[in-house]
Amino acid sequence: MLPTAHTGVPMAFKDMREFLALLEKDGQLKQVDVPLDGRRETNELQALMHHVCSQDGPALMLNKVDAINTEGVPILFNPFGTRERTAMTIGFRDWRAAKLHHSEVLADPARWHAPKVIDKAGAPCKEVIIRGDEVSLDKQLPHVWFGKEGPAYITNAMTFSKDPETGGRNCGWYRFTQFLDATHPQGGSYKPERAKTDLAAFYWWNPPFSDIGRHTFKASQMGKRLEVAIAGVCDPALHLASATGVPYNVDETAFAGGLRGSPVEMVRCETVDLEVPAHAEWVLEGEVCSDEIETIGWHSNPVGYYDRVQALPIVRIKCLTRRRKPIWHATMEMVPPFDHNYMALLPVEGEVLSDLRKKIPEVHDVAVTPNMCYVVQLSVDGWRKPHPNFGKYVIHAVWGSAGRWGRTAKLVIVVGPDVDPYDLKQVEWAMMTRWQPAKDSIVQPDGIPMILDPSCEKSAQFGAFRSDQMGIDATIKIPERFTEYPEVSQADPAAVAAVAKKLAGIL
């Protein structure tokens, strides 16, 4: 029985296909048989991404993309492209309800479900197994291009790895460079064997900005190569969990089980000591060669710029398993909005909200814009604030929050309960009427950067190294500066609704 999205109770999709079936039944997935160009330099897919996402358009199944190795493999496009569809991945339609569920489950590991390992005979990702010398990624994986990107990128995959010392599992959503028909950003060339067995992995390990970075760094210090398994197009709750900054050595698959309300089914790999989602569309098994660094580019990033050069470690693939008729999900990051923009924002908001609420009960909500501006809404303001400069206290709490994302907040704005944090017009109004730049701001010159921010100093891997950060306290300055504040002149929402109903036939 196919589950249906609702409000208040998590739901478990067995795999991405069940989620897509719900979207299609709901009119939010369209089959597209129009031929589309997915080749390097002539592709139409960036234009399509902009067109469909700028209109909050539907998910698409592109059945006739002309690229490399795509014949017979449908290309899933824009499945997470609205706040509603992202909320639906864990059983909700309302964005805030989904976020509250995410933040509450994240805060309560008692609600998590450890994964269940099943026999490979029942694992669809094992229907086709290709090992050793038979592996040839240049012939066995789709290669789809977007915009002016130099290589084709794998954008739908989660990496599973273990801490080389403790054995703790990590699951993170990272992208990979494919080398077939790739352009070298500095005018060089790639060895032919790169296209057959190698991927360049977006693992920031020097310094390690993520858990896979820590694993890679530890393995390199021990003189070992880190085993990894890369699983593509899985249960959407697992994709959501993999984008969340859970504590180090805590298993994202168990958190995903909490989000979906039941354990994730996993299966053992063929050539590495790891487990992967049994219902993935495809899996790559290999090891990280951190002693082999490759220069890649251009790459389009989530803040809307092309990274011209990046230096990334190689992952060497020694086994490929997949379904007999797999689906491939291709997407691009660019000036927001884009396909997985909201899929990235929900765990950021949920992660920060979960941590702040543990410490500061007056935090009502956290909204993050598509361009990563953080807006914290309090349930109190003015005389009801616990102490003077409470807004500044909250700003520091965001930068000191647990998880991966709060510490990278370049701009944090704190507002009161009468300001909708999702409405930037209201946020701007609060700033212009409740904020004095010199008195009500915090500037931090050596903050943690968002790794792909082009305005920052760069590391040896050409990732952002450090960033200035700014906090804006846009709450009412009672008692900091005043004993009373002018009353807000605003229409009552009930009166607005009443007059709208009265004039419905005219307006």
pTM for the structure as a whole = 0.92
Asked if residues 190 and 182 have their Cβ atoms less than 8 Å apart, the reply is yes
Asked if residues 19 and 76 have their Cβ atoms less than 8 Å apart, the reply is no
Contacts of 481-490 with CB under 8 Å at 24 or more apart are: 481/439, 485/382, 488/418
Taking every pair of Cα atoms in the chain, the longest distance, rounded to a whole number of angstroms, is: 77
**CATH annotation of 16-329:** 2.30.110.10
Q: What are phi and psi of 153, to 5 degrees?
A: -120, 145
Asked if residues 316 and 244 have their Cβ atoms less than 8 Å apart, the reply is no
According to DSSP H, which parts of 367-438 are helical?
390-399, 424-434
Q: Where are the domains of the chain?
A: 16-329, 360-473
Q: In the predicted model, is pLDDT for residue 34 greater than 60? A: yes
Q: In the predicted model, is pLDDT for residue 507 greater than 90? A: no
The predicted structure's pLDDT at residue 208: 86
The predicted structure's pLDDT at residue 19: 97
Sign of the torsion formed by the C-alpha atoms of 397, 398, 402 and 407: negative
The predicted structure's pLDDT at residue 5: 43
Residue 304: left (phi > 0), alpha (psi -120 to 50), or beta?
left
Angle at the Cα of 138 from the Cα atoms of 132 and 143, rounded to 5 degrees: 135
The predicted structure's pLDDT at residue 477: 98
pLDDT in tens, 315-360: 999 999 999 999 999 999 999 989 999 999 999 999 999 999 999 9
The predicted structure's pLDDT at residue 7: 46
Structural tokens at position 7: 């409000």
Q: In the predicted model, is pLDDT for residue 1 greater than 50? A: no
Percent of the chain with pLDDT over 70: 98
Identify the band that residue 9 occupies on the pLDDT scale cut at 50, 70 and 90. Answer: low
The predicted structure's pLDDT at residue 403: 86
DSSP β-ladder status, 176-177 and 153-154: antiparallel
pLDDT in tens, 359-397: 999 999 999 999 999 999 999 999 999 999 999 999 999
Q: In the predicted model, is pLDDT for residue 10 greater than 70? A: no
Q: In the predicted model, is pLDDT for residue 21 greater than 50? A: yes
| CATH 3.30.200.20 is right for the domain spanning 360-473 | no
- As a dihedral over the C-alpha atoms of residue 160, residue 163, residue 168, residue 172, rounded to 10 degrees, the angle is -30
Identify the band that residue 90 occupies on the pLDDT scale cut at 50, 70 and 90. Answer: very high
- Report which residue type is found at 75: I
Sign of the torsion formed by the C-alpha atoms of 139, 142, 148 and 153: negative
**Which residues lie closer than 8 Å to 483 by C-beta, 6 or more apart?**
none
Over residues 58-64, mean pLDDT: 98
The predicted structure's pLDDT at residue 2: 39
Structural tokens at position 31: 């089959």
Identify the band that residue 6 occupies on the pLDDT scale cut at 50, 70 and 90. Answer: very low
CA distance 245 to 235: 18
Of 224, 194, 210, 206, the residue nearest 317 (C-alpha): 194
Over residues 481-504, mean pLDDT: 94
Q: In the predicted model, is pLDDT for residue 205 greater than 90? A: no
